[in-house]
């Protein structure tokens, strides 16, 4: 793999795994046990945003859904830090259009580096069985390697449920900065 392709792979795929995928077509799964429901009306006070940018509501277990989504994002960062491909792929929706590409890329990258990942979840918005999150992530490595560019990236992740659990389905990179 030439240096430019390697840096691109590291700066996009390794920071989250699905960066750059922007397919907007809705896919449904006969295997999914989730059904979409109309959102309920907000309370008289309306939604309240907490310190972490999460809009909290008292209805439909929204707060627990947001907690589960945050957990998926943290688990993905921990999997990178632990060079655990299986755990990493457990955070990716099995019907994501980039599932196989992500698995192949991460299988190559995880053994090469000891990643240090810092994830700041700026917002979580749940809409039935889909959600979006805005995330700022810093990705660094132990030691140095001229082929790796440490970076800070800003993403919007789309998460979808599959068999009752949340998974990252798609990600779009909005900003990338070398550190």
Is the separation of the CB atoms in 103 and 18 below 8 Å?
Answer: no
| pTM more than 0.75 | no
State the pLDDT at residue 46: 38
How far is residue 155's CA from residue 8's CA, in Å, rounded to a whole number? Answer: 16
Each residue's pLDDT tens digit, 21-43: 333 333 333 343 443 333 333 33
- Report all structural domains of the chain as residue ranges with CATH numbers, in order of start: 3-20+59-178 (3.10.450.50)
Quote the tokens at residue 25: 């077509």
Residue with tokens 């990252």: 168
State the pLDDT at residue 136: 98
pLDDT band at 97 (very low <50, low <70, confident <90, very high): very high
How far is residue 54's CA from residue 66's CA, in Å, rounded to a whole number? Answer: 7
Of 16 and 139, more confident: 139
Quote the tokens at residue 27: 């896919």
């Amino acid at each position: 793999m030439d240096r430019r392709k390697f840096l691109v792979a590291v700066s996009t795929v390794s920071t989250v795994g699905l960066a750059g995928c922007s397919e907007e077509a809705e896919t449904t799964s006969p295997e999914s046990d989730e059904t979409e429901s109309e959102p309920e009306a907000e309370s008289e006070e309306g939604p309240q945003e907490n310190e972490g940018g999460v809009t909290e509501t008292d209805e439909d277990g929204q707060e627990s859904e947001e907690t589960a989504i945050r957990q998926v994002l943290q688990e993905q960062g921990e999997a990178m830090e632990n060079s655990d491909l299986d755990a990493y792929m457990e955070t990716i929706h099995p019907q994501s259009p980039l599932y196989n590409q992500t698995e192949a890329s991460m299988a190559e990258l995880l053994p090469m580096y000891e990643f240090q990942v810092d994830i700041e979840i700026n917002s979580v918005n749940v809409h039935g069985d889909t959600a979006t999150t805005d995330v700022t992530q810093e990705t660094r490595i132990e030691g140095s390697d001229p082929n790796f560019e440490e970076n800070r990236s800003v993403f919007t992740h789309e998460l979808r449920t599959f068999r009752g659990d949340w998974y990252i389905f798609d990600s779009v990179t909005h900003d990338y900065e070398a550190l």
